[in-house]
Amino acid sequence: KGHTSQKRFIEQTMGRLAVKFNSKVVNHHPVHFVNYLRLYTMAAPTQTIYNDGNAVDDKQLKPYRKNMKIALIVPQYNHLTTGHAVTVHRISKYLTKHGCHTKIFSIDSIQAESLTKELQKFSPDIIHGFHALKTGTYAREAAATLLLPFVITLTGTDIYNSYSGSQLNLLKRNLRSASAIVCFHNSIKTEFSKKFPFIAEKCKVIPQGVELPSLNINQTRQTDNFTFFLPAGLRPVKNVTFPLNPFLKLHYKFGNLKFILAGPVIDKPYAERVKAEFNNFGFAEYAGEIPFEHMQDYYISSDVVLNCSISEGGMANSLLEAMSFGKAVLASNIEGNSSFIKDGENGFLYNQEEDFIEKAQKLILSPQLRLDIGKAGRKYVEMNCSPDIEAKRYIKEYENLASF
């Protein structure tokens, strides 16, 4: 108000940028202006560049307002059976606890046009998409229409899939346009920086949180069967049939082994092949899609929890949940898993089938080892995975963006 020269500077600069992007600038919105300046001046993501060229730390900025409204967009949110849904449910719960108003939008049940209309009704301060490709496009288009900043949280497929052509271009466009990008661990940020060096400075690390159950973890289970439990959605990246042949060898040796797989069908052709293969092994059972509120029964009744993924976007919910229940975990030695599992200390990591068999056998033979590993895993979660701290870190990021 009253600064005609500054207003003219903003209008002229945004006009030139609009031509460069072949897009229409509506109302000369300052959020877009600041984002463009950040992109083209390579400003640190924790700084705001003003039209006089000075940079100011966002820490100096006061919160935009209390009771921010956050729209959370997720690929699927049915019965809380996918990792994305569990993550968003937890974040929404703790954001609400700390004073935000949240609403979750699932793109598997809403069209893009309807999503924008529903977002207009909710009138959020921030749009937050989980999955740069699947929800990033929805978030970007809605944010452009509503003139809002938007955040993207990266997943494993965003980083480790070999995208090409139009998909890669779309992914890059979503990431370039995002006001902020979040990943779960430094190892994922490092990989992101290698793949997308032009926007590496946007990426921030906010570790996953876990709600700790109240239970006695000082006792091992007393049962005739030794149960390995694999919670995973049925899609190729989860590699859920890998344990079948190793367990066949262990079943011949020990006789009382049981392998339970539980998770939603994500890839139907792959799921049909999995179910057919499981039918060939008497010790293996596909328990189907288990509602989130009943998952604790499966964790409690298992001896060891598995993760056989080919890639993970950081910290797998299923492993963190298992560790919170004091369960020993055996996981594939991939970047996401090794970021928080220390082999032989708070869990086990395997490389090949022989390694898997050796470590699974150790866990079968030693109740004390399972107990010690389970306690160490629980301690890790207690020390590093507070959902309250997770929510406060997101709120700080939201406040920085909404300050404009």
Q: Using one digit for the tens of pLDDT, what is the confidence trace for 15-74?
A: 555 544 444 444 444 555 555 454 444 344 444 443 333 444 444 434 445 689 999 998
Q: What is the pLDDT of residues 256-271, one digit of tens each?
A: 899 999 998 989 999 9
* pTM over the 0.75 mark: no
User: Would you state the pLDDT for residue 17?
Assistant: 57
Q: Judging by DSSP bridges, how do beta strands 150-153 and 180-183 pair with one another? A: parallel
Q: What is the pLDDT of residues 280-330, one digit of tens each?
A: 999 999 999 988 888 889 999 999 999 999 987 677 889 999 999 999 999
Strand partners, 128: 72, 151
- With a cut of 70, say whether residue 208 has pLDDT above it: yes
308 is written with which tokens?
A: 């056989």
pLDDT above 70 as % of the chain: 78
- With a cut of 70, say whether residue 384 has pLDDT above it: yes
32 vs 149, higher pLDDT = 149
Amino acid identity, residue 41?
A: T
| Sheet containing 150-153: order of strands | 101-106, 69-74, 126-130, 150-153, 180-183, 203-205
**Nearest CA-CA partner of 183 in 150, 155, 149, 211:** 155
**Nearest CA-CA partner of 68 in 286, 316, 391, 368:** 391
